[in-house]
Chains A and B, each alone.
Chain A
Amino acid sequence: MSETKKPRWPPGDLVIWIFIMAELLVFGVFFATYAFTRAHHVAQFDTYQLTLNRNAALINTLALITSSYFVVRAVAAIRADNSQACFRWLLAALAMGLLFLVVKGAEYHHHFSMGVNLGTNTFYMFYLSLTFFHFLHVVLGMIILLAVALKAHRGGYSAAEHTGVETGASYWHMVDLVWMILFPLVYVMR
């Protein structure tokens, strides 16, 4: 179809993309550090990886993917000028985010009640640091989505002007994207 002109810029405010790049960089370095540190402590990492709950990780991965999908639908809705549909999709996405937090919280509760903390060993240092850092990003992303949802509910966006929705959406997808790597890296690969 109209292959005339693709936009030069990604959806949303460009500043969020600068921020996203910075975040990806931090996570990327964190992942690489994990991988290379693991290479020096293979036995330890393989042993303690088994104490993690892969079912919880599955639920969380599904929650984030679904949430991201809902956000895509929210953006589509606002592009069709349907503020209320956009609002509802965002609420659904937030519910999925909440599910993530609850499941992850339960995992933390389990580990903490076993006396695990950042100082227990190198594997747990990484597991807790990486997932907690990501956990905080989910919280931040939810705050952003909530702000966007409320504004959408008030009719603050339209098909013509909805940069805010795209901005929040882009950030949320980044949180999802990072988890896509984190899940197999920390929970599965051995």
Chain B
Amino acid sequence: MNETRARHLFRPCTWVYVVLLSLTFITWLVGVNHFSGRFFAFLVFGFALLKGQLIGDYFMGLKQVAGPWRWVVFTWLLLVGILISSAFWQTV
């Protein structure tokens, strides 16, 4: 079990790392340029949720898990996503 997991982990995690960095840069670009409004706010927020899911799946290793624990991070992101979105929808 551990060996299979290790083989899965090594390469994908580096790839994920690069994606995380890229998304962060885009978020930063939006930030330093003070881009505002629904499109940009939800763009970076969507990136944030995606990054969270990647961290959960690949860094925390939840992708390898079967059953309810597989969805811990996803559920959290979903709830937080809904709550924050509903608060921001009308006010950005």
Binding site for B on A (CB under 8 A): 1-2, 5-11, 17, 20-21, 24-25, 28, 31-32, 35-36, 38-39, 42, 46, 50, 54-55, 57-58, 61-62, 65-66, 68-69, 71-73, 75-76, 79-80, 159, 166, 169-170, 173-174, 176-177, 180-181, 183-185, 187-190
Q: In the complex, are the beta carbons of B9 and A188 less than 8 A apart?
A: no
CB pair A65–B21 under 8 Å, yes or no, is: yes
B84 in contact with A17 (CB, 8 Å):
no
Given known contacts A32-B80, A32-B87, A10 and B13 CB-to-CB distance under 8 angstroms? no
| B: contact size bracket | 35 or more
Nearest CB in chain A to that of B69: its residue: A10
Q: How many A-B residue pairs have CB under 8 A?
A: 163
Question: A68: which B residues are within 8 A, CB to CB?
Answer: 55, 59
Residues from chain B with Cβ under 8 Å of A42 in the complex: 91
Interface of A: prevailing SS? helix
Distance from B79 Cβ to chain A, minimum over Cβ atoms (Å): 6
30 intermolecular pairs with C-beta atoms under 8 Å apart = A2-B4, A5-B66, A7-B66, A8-B65, A35-B87, A36-B87, A38-B88, A39-B87, A39-B91, A42-B91, A54-B28, A57-B31, A58-B28, A61-B27, A62-B24, A68-B59, A72-B13, A73-B13, A76-B10, A76-B13, A80-B6, A173-B56, A177-B52, A177-B73, A184-B44, A184-B45, A189-B88, A189-B92, A190-B34, A190-B36
